[in-house]
Amino acid sequence: MAGQTDLNSGSVSGNSSRDDVRTHFTTREGVYKLITLAEYSRANRLSGYTAIQSQQGAALGQGSNPPVRVTFVSLPSDPSGYCDRICFNYGRELYFYTYKGTKKPADLSKPVDKRIYKGTSPTCHDINKLTISSESVMLLVGFTGGQIQLVDPIRKEIGKLYNEERIIEKTKVTCIKWLPGSPNLFLVSHVSGQMYLYSEDVTCGGPAPPTYQLFKQGAGFSVWTCKAKSTRNPIYRWVIGNGAINDFAFSPCSKYLAVVSQDGCLRVLNYDAMELIGLATSFFGGLLCVCWSPDGQLVVAGGEDDLVTVWSFQQKRIVARGQGHRSWITVVAFDPFTTLYSSQSSSSKSLSKEGVDTSVTSNGTGGIDGEVETKSSSDIATCYRLGSIAMDTQLCLWELTDDVLKQPYGSRSRASMVSGPGSPPSSLKFTGQTPISGDRSSSSSSNNVVTITPVNNLTVSPAPSSATATPVNAAGSLTQRLANMTFSDRKSGQQQEAAATDLKSHRKNFSLGSGRNSTSDRSANPSLVTGCADPLRLIGTQACPRLDEIPMLEPLVCKKVSHERLTALIFREDCLITACQDGIVCTWARPIGPSPHHTSTSTPTNEGTMV
């Protein structure tokens, strides 16, 4: 069980020897190697005491330790030269070590900070990137009992507590994040399906539970403020979906929030406007994890259907699913360092905060048939690298290529992508019977048409972009399909912005756009209109396509990398980090030599990522 140590998992019977735990794996760019000396874990975990204790833990049924999560932070400077710090939780403990990278051994005897909690266990943590200094970091920790603590592991100060008496919330904290760009605001999600915005410097009120007042309501969610004479925590309470909120993630541009829940829904919200702009569901079961692509174009979720679900921000629909894991997916993360970008100026450095940077220059024309131009940005990815880990102890790497992601919905062609190195970028080669393949490849030169994203462009409000729903196969001609992609003109954009505060007309904005024919309505996403998240009603729509209506991806790499189920995955420039349920944090060095994105901007080859 979870309480098990390395000693136990070392004595695996012959049963699982047929798929031994890997210490290296190979991708196109080379060999990733496990760096055994850079293994981080609880201090002195190999002592006999520890082993006995954790066996007892398992025997007592305390096997359901919270998953081990990892947070990295880089200090501005450090006398020793090691600026990186690693923070992870294990059982009731929280560790904060100096991370010495792939070259130097981990020193487990001297954690910077170590905390052991009584009666409650840490579940997740986050460090404020804005307020970091060499002498102080603001580390937020969420707990199984719903409490929140703000600690400074460098100053070793006993920090502030939030929801200490569990008056605001009693259920487990599932995810905690500082608001991007804020020195004091943070967001906390819980098993109860509620998410709270706290301010670090504001009181949590007295012993009386907060009284809430409805502030804003949308399809499947509501936002409440705290009724009080003076500002108190929580600032806002979000109630989202049915059942636990399992994970949430801010878009690279900080404007959007993707939330995944036990009800199987992925909800993409405009955080500040408090509007739902997209909804998709798992194939079945809860969604457990979510992440954004570095360019903000894709949202990927994983969950209890063992599938990776890829949702396109621009098309507002599920564009692909990925099958490769043998159990529930616990973390999905993009690798920004091996994701390929269309422009030569792309480098890993340019990814950081900017996110989606494309703008639409042809507002007001309605932009159809090639009249839409894009101001070419350096941030549009052409081949995404995605990583996922699961309870199956396997790490999967996926490649999401342009041509897969831009397949029309419901093409029913489980296309096998056979484009060789010589084929033009993003041209689609359908082996299936789709009637529009000719149109498609002829339009490959004007491929940018479909890569426009109105994210940062204020004149295109998010609501109408949900109306730029995607073509269905029934909508025969290319023009017809492009007509469906019309961006709203400036006027309606302004109208909608103005109306955004008005709840009534705001709901109207969720309608899926007029002038769409009935066939496209069938597959459109009814959930945004009705707020209905009933999976039965969503099956066969763009919110939950049938398996033959979208591409099913296969992983590039699928390797067993642990004895225990995996709980954390982080991509760093020179390595990737995995952690597992028994509290071992592993470092995998990337292949030595230049990574592909430094040398090549050519078309990604399709290494059988399609079924």
Partner 1 sequence: MGANASQLEKEIGSEQFPTNEHYFGLVNFGNTCYSNSVLQALYFCKPFREKVLEYKMKNKRSKETLLTCLADLFHNITTQKKKVGTIAPKKFIARLKKEKEEFDNYMQQDAHEFLNFLINHISEIITAERHQTNNSATPTTNGKVQNSKDPCNGSASLKFDGSNGSMTSTGNHESTWVHEIFQGILTSETRCLNCETVSNKEEDFFDLQVDVDQNTSITHCLRTFSSTETLCTDNKFKCDVCSSYQEAQKCMRVKKLPLILALHLKRFKYVEQYNRHIKVSHRVVFPLELRLFNTSEECPDRLYDLVAVVVHCGSGPNRGHYISIVKSHDFWLLFDDDIVDKIDPSALEDFYGLTSDVQKASETGYILFYQSRDTS
Determine the Cα–Cα distance for residues 284 and 576; give it in Å rounded to an integer. 30
Determine the Cα–Cα distance for residues 496 and 362; give it in Å rounded to an integer. 19
Q: Sign of torsion, CA 314 316 317 320?
A: positive
Distances (CA, A) of 133 to 70, 78, 98, 521: 20, 10, 15, 53
Shortest Cβ 171–partner 1 spacing (Å): 10
Shortest Cβ 141–partner 1 spacing (Å): 20
Determine the Cα–Cα distance for residues 262 and 193; give it in Å rounded to an integer. 8
H or E element, residue 36 = strand 30-40
Determine the Cα–Cα distance for residues 311 and 258; give it in Å rounded to an integer. 11
Checking DSSP bridges between strand 211-218 and strand 194-199, what pairing results, if any?
unpaired
Q: CB-wise, 112 or 539, nearer to partner 1? A: 539
**Backbone angles phi and psi of 520, in degrees to 5:** -75, -25
Shortest Cβ 237–partner 1 spacing (Å): 22
CB 332 within 8 A of CB 289: yes
Q: Which amino acid is at 380?
A: I
Determine the Cα–Cα distance for residues 226 and 236; give it in Å rounded to an integer. 7
Shortest Cβ 63–partner 1 spacing (Å): 7
CB 87 within 8 A of CB 70: yes
Determine the Cα–Cα distance for residues 575 and 590; give it in Å rounded to an integer. 5
In the complex, which residues of this chain contact partner 1 (CB under 8 A)? 1-2, 4, 8-9, 11-13, 15-16, 58-59, 61, 63-64, 191, 264, 283-286, 304-306, 326-328, 391-393, 535-536, 539, 546-547, 563-565, 581
Q: CB-wise, 124 or 191, nearer to partner 1? A: 191
Shortest Cβ 121–partner 1 spacing (Å): 14
Burial readout 47-65 (b: 16 or more C-beta within 10 A, e: otherwise): eeebbeebbebbeeebeeb
Q: Shortest CA distance to 414 belongs to which of 297, 546, 539?
A: 546
Distances (CA, A) of 170 to 121, 175, 176, 194, 341: 14, 15, 15, 11, 45
**Backbone angles phi and psi of 30, in degrees to 5:** 135, -160
- Residue owning tokens 């979720």: 301
Q: CB-wise, 5 or 451, nearer to partner 1? A: 5
Determine the Cα–Cα distance for residues 542 and 409; give it in Å rounded to an integer. 8
Q: CB-wise, 12 or 418, nearer to partner 1? A: 12
Q: CB-wise, 101 or 540, nearer to partner 1? A: 540
Q: CB-wise, 52 or 130, nearer to partner 1? A: 52
Shortest Cβ 388–partner 1 spacing (Å): 14
Q: CB-wise, 20 or 573, nearer to partner 1? A: 20
Q: CB-wise, 475 or 550, nearer to partner 1? A: 550
Shortest Cβ 60–partner 1 spacing (Å): 11
Q: CB-wise, 392 or 402, nearer to partner 1? A: 392
Q: CB-wise, 275 or 305, nearer to partner 1? A: 305
Q: CB-wise, 282 or 496, nearer to partner 1? A: 282
Shortest Cβ 265–partner 1 spacing (Å): 12
Determine the Cα–Cα distance for residues 246 and 142; give it in Å rounded to an integer. 13
Shortest Cβ 92–partner 1 spacing (Å): 18
Q: CB-wise, 324 or 367, nearer to partner 1? A: 324
Shortest Cβ 395–partner 1 spacing (Å): 13
Shortest Cβ 285–partner 1 spacing (Å): 4
Shortest Cβ 221–partner 1 spacing (Å): 20
Checking DSSP bridges between strand 552-553 and strand 317-323, what pairing results, if any?
parallel
